[in-house]
Amino acid sequence: MIKISTGIRYALRSLIYIAMNYSGKPLSLKEIARDQEISKKYLESLFRLLKNAGLVHSSKGSVGGYQLGKSPEDITIFEVFYAIDGPINLVDCATNPASCSRTGKCETINFYKEMQDNLSSYLTKTRLSDIVTTAEKKIAFLK
């Protein structure tokens, strides 16, 4: 079954939360975890990955926390997927032909490559700002 991992779901929600609550000061994991109802310990492991990818940067210490590493317009959803789950690889043979003994005989590789391109380009063209904008419109409407 094709699924989006909880790691990605949590990371997206956290990034959106940071984007929508920017005040110049970093937000701590404690606060993000509380608001988003996510285990703080689990968030720690995710934010390490986000930081390595440059999507957030951190400050340590007693008023430390995280801020976005780039503006929301410059963060593609593809980057978030890549940071948390690694390269998108619907099937091994599409990326690494040597992984399958039937490479060359098999008629499905082109289909998988095309499907993967379709997915990647969708994830690349939608950006964090798109989701945030939609959310802000919803909130404005409710007021």
Partner DNA sequence: CTCATTACCTAGTGTTTCTATAGGAATTAT
Partner DNA sequence: ATAATTCCTATAGAAACACTAGGTAATGAG
CB 79 within 8 A of CB 126: no
Closest CB to its own copies among 24 and 86?
86
CB 93 within 8 A of CB 83: no
Say which amino acid occupies 17: Y
Residue 41 burial (CB < 10 Å; 0-12/13-18/19+)? exposed
**Tokens in use for 29?**
């994991």
28 touches DNA (CB under 7 A): yes
How many binding residues for its own copies (CB under 8 A)? 39
124 touches its own copies (CB under 8 A): no
43 touches its own copies (CB under 8 A): no
Q: How many CB atoms lie within 10 A of CB 9?
A: 13
Considering CB distances under 5 to 8 angstroms, the limit depending on partner class, which of its own copies, DNA, none binds residue 118?
Answer: its own copies
DSSP E strands, 30-69: 56-59, 65-68
Say which amino acid occupies 33: A
CB of 134 vs its own copies, minimal distance in Å:
6
53 touches its own copies (CB under 8 A): no
Q: Which of 28, 58, 67, 89 binds its own copies (CB under 8 A)?
A: 89
Considering CB distances under 5 to 8 angstroms, the limit depending on partner class, which of its own copies, DNA, none binds residue 53?
Answer: none
Q: Looking at 6-14, 15-23, 99-107, 127-135, which segment touches DNA (CB under 7 A)?
A: 6-14
CB of 142 vs DNA, minimal distance in Å:
29
